[in-house]
């Protein structure tokens, strides 16, 4: 069977035409995202004898790397064609548009047409919906994936683990021996190595403004880890009430955990991962804000998502992984659940940032006004502890240590310091008692 030129195939008599073939490579990628170029075949499909060496193959790879942008990593090999060795360069890529030596081309039949400025602008507008999560990652390889993370995910999703590549293929995050960005976000050993914006920034502020920071922490890791840390951080820094069930106490956070979890999932699922910014959480005296970068997707508006329960997914591959892990409500139900659990929640879109705001329960004015006077002259560690007890009365030392992520020995030293200053008091029995601000 003859190899002839087509919209996805280009033939050249020899490697001397390599520079010229770059135009075809750009044109085919921009039209079809994959194709092949053969060196050693004439336009009529006849083989042409050439001398080829390993250096020839390396030179081809280097020229393509130097002159095609964004970079691609083609498969270059010698094949036998009608008893003659020819070079096959197979390539693919979905980060269109691709340029050859700074110019952009499009394939028309078997010819390469350079795009004008107007044509390029139209092309970019028509292809801007290339999804981040379904794009191939050009740097990562299979060894960059943490097999334990994949195995843990399989347990959650009820999937039998056979081998790493097969499982990733079944999850649609590994195709043609290439990893998708979604695989990096969920399963890479170090996702931040490839995407610094896969991170989380959290802070607690002393008042209703961001002028005074009480605590600040940054987290890096895969999406499941970051979502878990986001929820933990909020619960550690908001009021925790309690109910008593016999001899046992049950913690009841001031904000509903299901609503918080849904908002966190929404932030990580619907954010724009092309945006270099990261997700942030701000805990103020009167509210909790969860911010994620990205415009509202698919023509949605705040009134539509809040009143009509309509959802459009920016990241379909990530959404499938979230569903397999049993994370989040079914499509279109997330906002409704948040309103059901926390009716006062507000949503806003400001300068490319989507903001979910939960209104905190009112702090009694006596307690709110007392704290600045009590904390005068204390170091930051004692201030943070005093503020936390003020907002979360009735917790014992072990619970405080866990919530604040402070070693128990350190926490007990700080409690003793506050007791010596006559600022706190322990009330109740050893089993269900805890610390309170001293009246």
Identify the CATH number of the domain in which residue 75 sits.
3.30.950.30
Judge if 212 and 350 occupy the same domain. Answer: yes
CB 251 within 8 A of CB 318: no
Judge if 373 and 405 occupy the same domain. Answer: yes
Average pLDDT over residues 280-304: 86
Which of 322, 344, 359 is the endpoint of a domain?
359
Judge if 283 and 300 occupy the same domain. Answer: yes
CB 39 within 8 A of CB 12: yes
Judge if 77 and 167 occupy the same domain. Answer: no
Residue 209 pLDDT greater than 60, yes or no = yes
Residue 210 pLDDT greater than 70, yes or no = yes
Report how far apart, in Å, the C-alpha atoms of 285 and of each of 206, 227, 232 are: 7, 22, 18
The model's pLDDT over 353-394, given as tens digits with 9 standing for 90+, comes to: 999 999 997 644 434 444 444 556 678 788 888 888 887 888
If one compares 310 and 412, the residue with the highest pLDDT of the two is 412
Q: How many CB atoms lie within 10 A of CB 402?
A: 14
Report how far apart, in Å, the C-alpha atoms of 311 and of each of 47, 275, 307, 333, 341 are: 55, 20, 11, 8, 19
Identify the CATH number of the domain in which residue 214 sits.
3.30.565.60
- The confidence score (pLDDT) of residue 249 equals 56
- The confidence score (pLDDT) of residue 244 equals 54
Judge if 98 and 54 occupy the same domain. Answer: yes
- The confidence score (pLDDT) of residue 203 equals 94
Question: Burial of 369 by CB count in 10 Å (0-12 exposed, 13-18 middle, 19+ buried)?
Answer: exposed
Torsion of CA 147, 137, 108, 36, to 10 degrees: -60
The pTM is what? Answer: 0.60
Which of 324, 359, 394 is the endpoint of a domain?
359
CB 221 within 8 A of CB 191: yes
Quick check: is 212 in a domain? yes
Tokens of residue 371, six digits: 């704290």
- Please tell me the number of Cα atoms within 13 Å of 268 on its side-chain side: 30
- The confidence score (pLDDT) of residue 371 equals 46
Judge if 223 and 315 occupy the same domain. Answer: yes
For 416, the 3-state DSSP assignment is helix
Quick check: is 372 in a domain? yes
Which of 194, 217, 236 is the endpoint of a domain?
194
Quick check: is 135 in a domain? no
Arithmetic mean of pLDDT over the chain: 87
Q: Lowest mean pLDDT of 39-43, 163-167, 295-299, 352-356, name the range.
A: 295-299
The model's pLDDT over 109-137, given as tens digits with 9 standing for 90+, comes to: 889 999 998 888 778 766 655 788 988 88
If one compares 37 and 423, the residue with the highest pLDDT of the two is 37
Average pLDDT over residues 395-401: 89
How far is the C-alpha of 230 from the C-alpha of 217, rounded, in Å?
10
Question: Burial of 438 by CB count in 10 Å (0-12 exposed, 13-18 middle, 19+ buried)?
Answer: middle
Average pLDDT over residues 151-162: 94
Quick check: is 3 in a domain? no
Angle (CA) 437-210-205 rounded to 5° is 25
Q: Where are the alpha helices (DSSP H) in 280-407?
A: 302-307, 316-324, 334-341, 365-374, 380-391, 397-404
CB 53 within 8 A of CB 128: no
Judge if 346 and 369 occupy the same domain. Answer: no
> pLDDT band at 314, cuts 50/70/90?
confident
Residue 165 pLDDT greater than 70, yes or no = yes
Identify the CATH number of the domain in which residue 402 sits.
1.10.10.10
- The confidence score (pLDDT) of residue 250 equals 64
How far is the C-alpha of 184 from the C-alpha of 197, rounded, in Å?
12
Quick check: is 275 in a domain? yes
The secondary structure of residue 136, as a DSSP letter, is B
Closest CA to 33 of 86, 76, 91: 91
Q: How far apart are the first and last CA of the chain?
A: 92
Residue 242 pLDDT greater than 80, yes or no = no
Provide the percentage of residues in the chain whose pLDDT is more than 70.
Answer: 90
Judge if 216 and 317 occupy the same domain. Answer: yes
Judge if 232 and 180 occupy the same domain. Answer: no
Judge if 410 and 307 occupy the same domain. Answer: no
User: Total structural domains in the chain?
Assistant: 4
Quick check: is 260 in a domain? yes
Strand pairing category for 353-359 and 434-437? unpaired
Quick check: is 137 in a domain? no
- The confidence score (pLDDT) of residue 287 equals 94
- The confidence score (pLDDT) of residue 370 equals 43
Judge if 253 and 355 occupy the same domain. Answer: yes
Which residues span the domain enclosing 148? 142-194
Quick check: is 134 in a domain? no
Judge if 301 and 388 occupy the same domain. Answer: no
Residue that the structure tokens 């994949």 belong to: 150
């Amino acid at each position: 069977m003859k190899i002839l030129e087509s919209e996805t195939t280009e033939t050249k008599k020899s490697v001397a035409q390599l520079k010229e073939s770059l135009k075809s490579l750009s044109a085919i990628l921009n039209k079809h995202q994959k194709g092949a170029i053969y060196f050693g075949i004439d336009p009529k499909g006849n083989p042409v004898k050439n001398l080829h060496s390993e250096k020839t193959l390396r030179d081809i790879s280097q020229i393509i790397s130097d002159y095609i942008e964004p970079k691609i990593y083609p498969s270059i090999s010698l094949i036998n064609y009608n008893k003659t060795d020819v070079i096959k360069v197979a390539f693919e890529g979905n980060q269109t548009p691709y340029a050859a030596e700074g110019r952009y081309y499009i394939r028309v039949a078997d010819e390469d047409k350079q795009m004008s400025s107007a044509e390029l602008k139209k092309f970019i507008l028509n292809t801007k919906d290339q999804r981040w999560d379904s794009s191939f990652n050009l740097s990562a390889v299979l060894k960059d994936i943490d097999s334990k993370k994949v195995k843990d995910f399989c347990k959650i999703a009820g999937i039998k683990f056979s081998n790493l590549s097969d499982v990733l293929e079944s999850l649609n995050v590994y195709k043609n021996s290439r990893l998708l960005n979604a695989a990096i976000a969920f399963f890479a050993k170090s996702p931040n190595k490839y995407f610094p914006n896969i991170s989380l920034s959290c802070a607690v502020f002393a008042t209703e403004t961001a002028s005074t920071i009480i605590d600040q922490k940054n987290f890096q890791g895969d999406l499941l880890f970051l979502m878990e840390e986001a929820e933990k951080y909020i619960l550690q820094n908001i009021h925790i009430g309690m109910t008593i069930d016999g001899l046992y106490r049950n913690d009841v956070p001031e904000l509903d955990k299901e609503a918080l979890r849904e908002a966190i999932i929404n932030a990580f699922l619907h954010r724009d991962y092309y945006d270099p910014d990261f997700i942030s959480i701000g805990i103020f005296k009167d509210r909790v804000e969860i911010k994620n970068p990205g415009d509202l997707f698919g023509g949605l508006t705040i009134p539509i998502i809040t009143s009509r329960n309509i959802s459009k997914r920016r990241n379909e591959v990530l959404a499938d992984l979230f569903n397999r892990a049993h994370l989040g409500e079914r499509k279109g139900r997330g906002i409704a659940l948040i309103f059901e659990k926390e009716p006062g929640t507000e949503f806003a879109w400001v300068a490319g940032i989507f903001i979910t705001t939960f209104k905190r329960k009112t702090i009694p004015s006596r307690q709110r006004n007392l704290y600045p006077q009590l904390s005068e002259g204390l170091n930051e560690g004692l201030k943070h502890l005093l503020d936390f007890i003020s907002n979360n009365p009735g917790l014992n030392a072990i619970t405080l240590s866990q919530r604040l992520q402070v070693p128990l020995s350190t926490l007990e030293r700080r409690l003793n310091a506050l007791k010596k200053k006559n600022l706190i008091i322990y009330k109740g029995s050893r089993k269900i008692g805890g610390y309170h601000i001293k009246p």
